Amino acid sequence: MYTALYRKWRPMTFDDVVSQPHITAALSRQVAEGKTAHAYLFTGPRGTGKTTCSRILAKAVNCLHPVDGKPCLECEICKAADAGTLTDIIEIDAASNNGINDIRDLRESALYTPERCRYKVYIIDEVHMISVGAFNALLKIMEEPPEHIKFILATTEAHKVPATIVSRCQRFDFRRIRDEDIIARLMYIAGEEKIDLAPDGAELIARLADGAMRDALSLLEQCMAFSEHIDRNAVSDAAGIAGRDYLFDILEAAADGDASAAFIKVDELYSRSKDMSRLCDELITQTRNLMLLKTVPDRPELLSCLSDEADRLKRIAEKLSVGNILSRLEVLEQCAEALPKAVSKRTELEMSLVRLCRPPRAVSDGADVSELERRIASLEAEVARLKSGVAIPAKKQESAPAGGGYEPKREPEKPAEKQPQKPQEPFVKCPVWEDILDRLSERSPGCAGALKGAEAFVSGDRMMIIVTSKFFMQLLRSPENSTALQEAALHVTGVKYRIGAKCREEQQDGGGKSAIDELIEKAKAAGVPVTEE
């Protein structure tokens, strides 16, 4: 019977495990020193060796002649374990045996001593699938296990395992397998199996496997059925992904704003039965590469592309800004989320390509972040000028378009009806003027000193300052000093006054009337009641 490659070439000892030296070294040393734990938790992405290391560890602790903590593969225990006939190593699939009754059966069988081995080892795969009640039933035996029992729990979602279980295990986190390790392993297996595998084909398989050796071997086997010579093109066709040239043609057309060229490429791929979801994923991966080229150009090892593709990516990246690339990533991510539920995946992808081909000023369809930042900075500058009291000239109305476009006729504006004026409060002398000056001296001592001897009168939210000379008048009219005085008054009175100023030396009439007297007379003539306190 034919055996799948990932089963046939499953590692049999710790030395065969790829890209996990931090785990295999620790486990083999524990076995060699006889200091193995009663419970282990193996976590990490799929296809990284969790179940494989569980089986190797179960063999190692029971091997009759271990070599440096590794199973010898020659004794009867190792041979029976590899053949799957050893009853003392029990593998449980928690996805289908996750009930409380299944764990109770496990607890009852755990009380019996092993038949042939030193330890009875329970390997529970996908342990996060166990129900809450089953976890509670498992907790007791994991707290105080018999000396002949060992547990090895494996999961891809460690966050779903209760903390009470995790705290009773030695946890080992498996890493994604590096691309270079996958390539080396694929080339070795291809040599042993007499498979015509080209290096660029192995490199593309490693990229598509995304750190999972099992996925890489499954894809290699799929390519074997598609073509005798497995190169980059054969892998692309067998996996149903976009050919690399088509992929970069689409990215370049989008960067140039050429929607027609992008649609033609998608139509060619669709006619060849390419998967639109896989195409979108590939576009996301390469757009991420564009982002990395713009932000960290000195770290090429972070790129997820083949070695001869970086130059073309650099040429595309030169046409785009960082903000535009980020907006494109957002559009593609939204497309990837919508594709599984879309009635027509092709149409959904083409809609996203239209957005990618639009200029970056289209704010509603993914604006250029740098353009938005420029607009925000301009608005912030205008707000700052308003706060400082600097007048901003009104913008002129835009003229009609050069082509003589239609402009709707505007109705003449009606004069606003005069609202009846509310009676104004009388001006009175400010009773806390000295307190305001004391507060002002903390921020602007010079301005506060200049106002010594001045008088202040208030009416509603207005404050009129009568100064003694024109020099003090100029000092007070400075935006910085007027703002400081306004804030000091707000702090003391709780009212944000509109501040005006008059000089006693200005506009005295022949009778020797002062400015304050003239101000009071004008107020009375206007019908404003004035009282003096």
Write the pLDDT tens digit of every residue in 102-130. 888 888 888 888 888 899 999 999 899 88
**C-beta neighbour count of 462 within 10 angstroms:** 15
| Look-up of token digits 């946890």 | 171
Is residue 428 within a helix (H) or strand (E), and if so which, with residue range?
A: strand 428-429
- pLDDT beyond 50 at 441: yes
Across 407-411, 476-480, 486-490, which has the greatest mean pLDDT? 486-490
Q: 73-77, 163-167, 450-454: lowest mean pLDDT where?
A: 450-454
- Residue 380: pLDDT above 80? no
**Structure tokens given for 89:** 């190593």
Alpha-carbon Rg for the chain, nearest whole angstrom, is 40
Domain 271-365: assigned CATH number: 1.20.272.10
CA distance 50 to 213: 12
Q: So what's the pLDDT on residue 28? A: 93
The band of 55, judged by pLDDT with boundaries at 50, 70 and 90, is very high
Q: What does the pLDDT average to over 44-58?
A: 91
Torsion of CA 475, 477, 481, 483, to 10 degrees: 170
pLDDT above 90: residue 335: yes
Question: What are the angstrom distances between the C-alpha of 459 and each of 238, 439, 518?
Answer: 85, 21, 16
Q: Which tens digits make up the pLDDT trace of 268-313?
A: 888 878 889 988 998 998 899 899 988 888 887 788 776 667 888 8
DSSP category for residue 129: G
- 410 pLDDT band (50/70/90 cuts)? low
230-265 in b/e form (b: 16+ CB < 10 A) is bbbbbbbbbbebbbbebbbbbbbbbbeeebebbbeb
Residue appearing with tokens 């100023």: 501
> Domain spans of the chain?
5-173, 179-239, 271-365, 428-525
Number of Cβ within a 10 Å radius of residue 139? 14
pLDDT at residue 173 in the model: 93
**Alpha helix positions (H), 194-309:** 199-209, 213-226, 232-239, 244-256, 259-271, 276-295
Q: What is the CATH number of domain 179-239?
A: 1.10.8.60
| Cα 284 to Cα 290: distance, rounded to the nearest angstrom | 10
| 299 close to 292: Cβ distance less than 8 angstroms | yes
> Does residue 212 or residue 240 have the better pLDDT?
212
* Fold held by 428-525: GMP Synthetase; Chain A, domain 3 (3.30.300)
Confidence of residue 517 (pLDDT cuts 50, 70, 90): low
Range 349-373 average pLDDT: 67
| Amino acid type, 159 | H
Lowest mean pLDDT among 41-50, 486-495, 505-514: 505-514
Give residue for tokens 């913008």: 395
Q: What is the model's pLDDT at position 413? A: 53
Segment 424-429 shows an average pLDDT of 71
Find out whether 223 and 238 touch, Cβ atoms under 8 Å.
Answer: yes
- pLDDT value of residue 23: 93
If we measure between CA atoms, which residue out of 456, 533, 469, 530 comes closest to residue 498? 456
Which pLDDT score, from 0 to 100, does residue 383 have?
Answer: 74
Question: What CATH number was assigned to the domain covering residues 5-173?
Answer: 3.40.50.300
pLDDT at 170 over 80: yes
Task: Report the C-alpha dihedral over residues 121, 122, 123, 129, rounded to 10 degrees.
Answer: -160
